[in-house]
Amino acid sequence: MSNYRVIFEDPEQPEQPAMVLVPSDNWLEEAKAGLLPPISVYWALQDDEQQAIAEGRHDTFEHDPAKHEAQWTAPRIGPLTEEEAIEYLVMKDIPRHIWSQEYNRPMFKIVKTEDVPSDRSFRNAWRIAA
Amino acid sequence: MSTLKVNTLEEATSGGATFFTAKAWLNFNGTGTVAILADGNVSSLTDRGTGVYTASLTTNTSTSNQTVSGSAIGAANVSYNASGVGRDSNVTKATSNFGMYVAKNNGSSAGPEFDSADVSVVVMA
């Protein structure tokens, strides 16, 4: 099991509580084994879909086949450490505006798993500590 | 490890039906510190609050029109002793992830969202 979790908030949804990203162990094994494509492959897919949303054709949207197949055909990036894999996961699974822009306080933190509260009382009031 | 690549799987009998395979599956514990128990083609699970989650896929589906189906172990509650997993309309459909909520159910109507100790979801696309 991963030693890390990523806690983040979405500045575009201020009422939303802090969210906690849990890495998949299977995915982490793939990352450590060097089986991941460059992160740009996923960003190209995100851009492809965002364009469809902007053009009002998302209901019938299908990815450009070449961009979709790049998930398998792109050269692999090589083995990552667990820390590098978590950074990759932030850029893959957390919305881009959260980690690519500067805000007046941190919007995400990579923490040790044991630092995440196991008591879920008041879960919907969680915020990232200053 | 070897990989079998085919475009279509069909029954061997004449006029047989096409087999459809799941694009992802996930089993997790939504109580305490949320933990993935088992998965296929899932890169991460995001705990977004009580009973609401987003699962991200290792390999995106080709379309955002996925079918997401799930179940969850119910809460020990006389009024709501069953539970259900639904697609979360607060999360925009995407080829890279899907949002879901786990709600209590009394057999005729959905109750409040809650944290289940055992949630299972499968994705077809």
In a domain, A70, yes or no: yes
In a domain, A107, yes or no: yes
CA distance A17 to A19: 6
**How many domains are contained in chain A?**
1
Per-residue burial over B23-44, b if 16 or more Cβ lie within 10 Å, else e, is bbbbbbbbeebbbbeebbbbbb
In a domain, A80, yes or no: yes
In a domain, A71, yes or no: yes
Among B124, B51, B48, B58, smallest CA distance to B97 is for: B58
With beta carbons under 8 A apart, name residues in chain A contacting B31: 120
- Angstroms from A106 CA to nearest CA on chain B: 18
Q: Is A11 part of the contact surface with chain B (CB cutoff 8 Å)?
A: no
pLDDT at B108 over 80: no
In a domain, A54, yes or no: yes
Q: Is A21 part of the contact surface with chain B (CB cutoff 8 Å)?
A: yes
For A6-57, how does the pLDDT look when each residue is reduced to its tens digit (9 = 90+)? 999 999 999 999 999 999 999 999 999 999 999 999 999 999 999 999 999 9
In a domain, A118, yes or no: no
CA distance A109 to A113: 12
Domain hosting residue A25, numbered range: 4-11+19-112
Q: Domain limits of chain B? A: 21-124
Task: Tell me the β-bridge partners of B121.
Answer: B26, B70
Mean residue pLDDT of chain A comes to 95
pLDDT, residue A53, reads 95
| Nearest-by-Cβ selection for B31 from A16, A26, A120 | A120
For B34-56, how does the pLDDT look when each residue is reduced to its tens digit (9 = 90+)? 999 999 999 999 999 999 999 99
For A5-14, how does the pLDDT look when each residue is reduced to its tens digit (9 = 90+)? 999 999 999 9
